[in-house]
Amino acid sequence: MQSGQNLYDFLKSGFPKGPDAPCMTLPDGAVIAYGMLEEESARVANLLRALGTRPGDRVAVQVRKSPRALFLYLGSLRVGAVYLPMNDAYRAREVEYFLKDARPHLFVCRPEARTMADGAALKAGVPHVLELDDEGEGSLAGEASAQPAVFAQSIGGGDDLAAILYTSGTTGRSKGAMLSHRNLAVNAETLVRQWRFRSDDVLLHTLPIFHVHGLFVATHCALLSGARMIFEPKFDARRALRLLPDSTVFMGVPTYYARLLAEPEFTRELCSKMRLFISGSAPLSVETFERFRALTGHTVLERYGMTEGGMFCSNPYEGERRGGTVGFPLEGISVRVAGENDEPLCAEQVGAIQVKGDNIFRGYWRMPEKTREEFTSDGFFKTGDMGKWDAQGYLTIVGRSKDIVITGGLNVYPAEVEQIIDRIPGVAESAVIGVPHPDFGEAVTAVIVRRENEQGVELTEDAVIGALKGALANFKVPKRVHFATELPRNTMGKVQKNVLRKRYGEDDSSDPIETP
């Protein structure tokens, strides 16, 4: 990436020379060319400018995946705005927090959420709210269509912010990871080279585009190499079976691979044109890894990264891909497994994974103290993950120092869920953990201690889950609720979640457990 270059212009440098080259194939068979991508993102950039959006202003977005949502992202980059994507499953309470913290100039929502969006925007002082529906229509599309299809020059770049992605911590307060144009460009360039992306690739894109995996990894790789995407609104295993024969690359979370393997019609022949399968966002079980290789003849490439810096490690494109590992550090990225004093550990020693490189984020939005805490004195970012090297230099993730639950590739932060549970009448205290699940990787699970002598309250598993469904995104709602007389604690009074994971992770009964 050239000094001061805008991320959009950097991605554009990989576009095909002809404007009619296909960029996206949609479910109805329609094709969006790279020339149209250029024009439509220009219209969005001109609209943002007309709304008074200045470089550095935030553009918050909570919509479903569509081509126009991608135009919105690229248009935001071109005008120098900071893109802030949100999971469309977030409820009003969650959205209000993000808007109050980020103070965006524009909030784009689904039409069904307009009443909520207007209320949240009013409380947060957001001056503009527009709509974008699941088909890519709405007030945003209407107003953009009246704008010129040419945007003269992209604004900003380099160390300017390109995006803020919120990632919660175990304290329960969400943190906005600030990613610069350079952070994202460096990672995209490295991945295109590492994974051998080329212009004749066809990426089966079934991931959401509100987080790093779908937006910054999958989409950036395709755009920077001038490849075509089969752009699906979501993952559906049976539909994927029909699309794989026309694809060369697939990226997915472990849940996707488990669901493909569960399809009787999934065969080696369907994958005959495939060049590469990539897995990430959560650990891929060795069992799934081996079953997939045996059935398809393809070895899944597992990699490792996080919101605060994109990708850090990858199994090799050429060479042995080892199940249960995330491979080697990517080019230009330093990765170490460190002990208590941040000293590098030897092979097979478990320690804290720390990373350093031009892809690492600028810090947490409006949280300078938290930012300082998360970096070592010599500039390494503390990922919060624990790992070890093997003798050949492959990295294995052995656990997380933070009690994050990763379910279906999405992060759930226990403290946030616990805070809501503890407000339910009849609850004395709670602990939220992740337990192994064959489909989602981990299932969110709550362990609750009932409040004694609470009159008129019948606290059941169904009652707890029902109370949470209106307050949290569905993927955060526990799939199981267990009841205990007390929570196990160490001598310092901290809940021993490792004990709970062992106790409830081994249970496969369908009824809630009463534990003495």
- Per-chain mean pLDDT for the chain: 93
- Assess whether pLDDT exceeds 90 at residue 153: no
Where residue 199 sits, what CATH number does that domain have?
A: 3.40.50.12780
Q: How many CB atoms lie within 10 A of CB 96?
A: 17
What's the pLDDT at 126? Answer: 98
Q: Which of 356, 359, 358 is nearest to 375 (CA)?
A: 356
Question: Which letter, b or e, does each residue of 25-58 get, where b requires 16 or more Cβ atoms within 10 Å of its Cβ?
Answer: bbeeeeebbbbbbbbbbbbbbbbbbebebeeebb
Q: Based on the fold, state whether residues 341 and 462 are members of the same structural domain.
A: no
214 Cβ contact partners less than 8 Å away, ≥ 6 residues apart: 65, 205, 207, 208
Give the list of residues 6+ apart from residue 360 with CB closer than 8 angstroms, or none. Answer: 183, 308, 309, 381
Distances from the Cα of 5 to the Cαs of 41, 130, 157, 193, 235, in angstroms? 17, 29, 5, 20, 34
Residues 378 and 450 in one domain: no
- Are 419 and 396 found together in one domain? no
Across residues 378-397, what is the average pLDDT? 94
- Give the domain-ending residue among 232, 252, 284: 232
Which CATH number goes with the domain that contains 508?
Answer: 3.30.300.30
pLDDT for the residue numbered 2: 82
pLDDT at 490: 65
Q: Report the number of distinct structural domains present in the chain.
A: 3
> What 8-state DSSP symbol labels residue 268?
T
Q: Is the pLDDT of residue 492 over 60?
A: no
* Per-residue pLDDT at 114: 97
pLDDT tens per residue, range 219-276: 999 999 999 999 999 999 999 999 999 999 999 998 899 999 999 999 999 999 999 9
Tell me if 257 is assigned to some domain: no
pLDDT category at 146 given cuts 50, 70, 90 is very high
The answer to whether residue 422 scores a pLDDT higher than 80 is: yes
Tell me, yes or no, whether 346 and 421 share the same domain: no
pLDDT score for 516: 34
Residue 509: the pLDDT is 43
- Domain-located, residue 131: yes
The model's pLDDT over 34-79, given as tens digits with 9 standing for 90+, comes to 999 999 999 999 999 999 999 999 999 999 999 999 999 999 999 9
Whether residues 169 and 195 share a domain: the answer is yes
3-state SS string for 302-362: EEEEECCCEEEEECCCCCCCCCCCCCEECCCCEEEEECCCCCECCCCCCEEEEEECCCCCC
Burial bucket for residue 242 (CB in 10 Å: 0-12, 13-18, 19+): exposed
34 and 170 part of one domain: yes
Domain match, 114 and 211 both: yes
Within this chain, do residues 17 and 139 fall inside the same structural domain, yes or no? yes
Structure tokens at 345: 């550990």
Structure tokens of 230? 């089969």
CATH of the domain at 334: 2.30.38.10
Q: How confident is the model at residue 510 (pLDDT cuts 50, 70, 90)?
A: very low
Kind plus residue range of the DSSP H or E element containing 252: strand 249-252
Residue 281 lies in a domain: no
User: Given this model, what pLDDT does residue 322 score?
Assistant: 97
For residue 91, which of 117, 129, 121, 125 has the smallest C-alpha distance? 117
Rounded to whole angstroms, the Cα distance separating 87 from 410 reads 10
Residue type, 188: A
- In angstroms, rounded to a whole number, what is the distance separating the alpha carbons of residues 248 and 433? 37
Residue 493 has pLDDT above 80, yes or no: no
Answer yes or no: is 164 within a domain.
yes
- So what's the pLDDT on residue 167? 85
Task: Verify that 373 and 410 share a domain, yes or no.
Answer: no
Q: How far apart are CA 91 and CA 102, in angstroms?
A: 17
420 and 391, same structural domain?
no
Contact status, residue 433 vs residue 448, Cβ threshold 8 Å: no
Long-range contacts of 468-471 (CB under 8 A, 24+ apart): 468/417, 468/420, 468/421, 470/91, 471/91, 471/93, 471/420
Residue matched to tokens 């980020």:
102
423 in Cβ contact with 411 (< 8 Å): no
* C-alpha to C-alpha distance for 282 and 366, rounded to whole angstroms: 28
Show which of 211, 232, 253 is a domain's final residue. 232
- Taking a C-beta distance cutoff of 8 angstroms, is the pair 202, 324 a contact? no
Q: Kindly state the tokens that stand for 112.
A: 């069904």
Is residue 125 over pLDDT 80? yes
Its sign, for the CA torsion 84, 88, 94, 100, is positive
436 φ, ψ (degrees, to nearest 5): -55, 140
- CB-hemisphere CA count at 13 Å for 198? 5
In a domain, 260, yes or no: no
Count of CB atoms situated within 10 Å of the CB of 174: 18
Confidence category of residue 170, pLDDT binned at 50, 70, 90: very low
Strand, helix or coil for residue 287: helix
Range of the domain at 439: 405-515
Q: Examine residue 240 and state whether it is found in any structural domain, yes or no.
A: no
* Interhelix angle 254-261/286-296, nearest 10 degrees: 50
Q: Residue 283 half-sphere exposure, CB side, CA atoms within 13 Å?
A: 23
Mean pLDDT of 124-137: 97
Same domain, 32 and 99: yes
pLDDT tens string 465-489? 999 998 999 999 999 999 999 999 8
User: Do 126 and 32 sit in the same domain of this protein?
Assistant: yes
pLDDT for the residue 456: 65
Give me the mean pLDDT over the 441-469 stretch. Answer: 89
Long-range Cβ pairs for the range 363-366 (8 Å, 24+): 363/178, 364/175, 364/176, 364/177, 364/178, 365/101, 365/102, 365/164, 365/175, 365/176, 365/177, 365/178, 366/101, 366/176
Report the run of H or E that residue 480 belongs to, with start and end.
Answer: strand 480-484
Residue 284 has pLDDT above 90, yes or no: no
* Last residue of one domain, picked from the residues 368, 400, 432: 400
Q: What 3-state DSSP class applies to 282?
A: coil
Helix ranges (DSSP H) in 208-247: 220-225, 237-243
Residue 511 has pLDDT above 70, yes or no: no
Answer yes or no: is 81 within a domain. yes
In a domain, 107, yes or no: yes
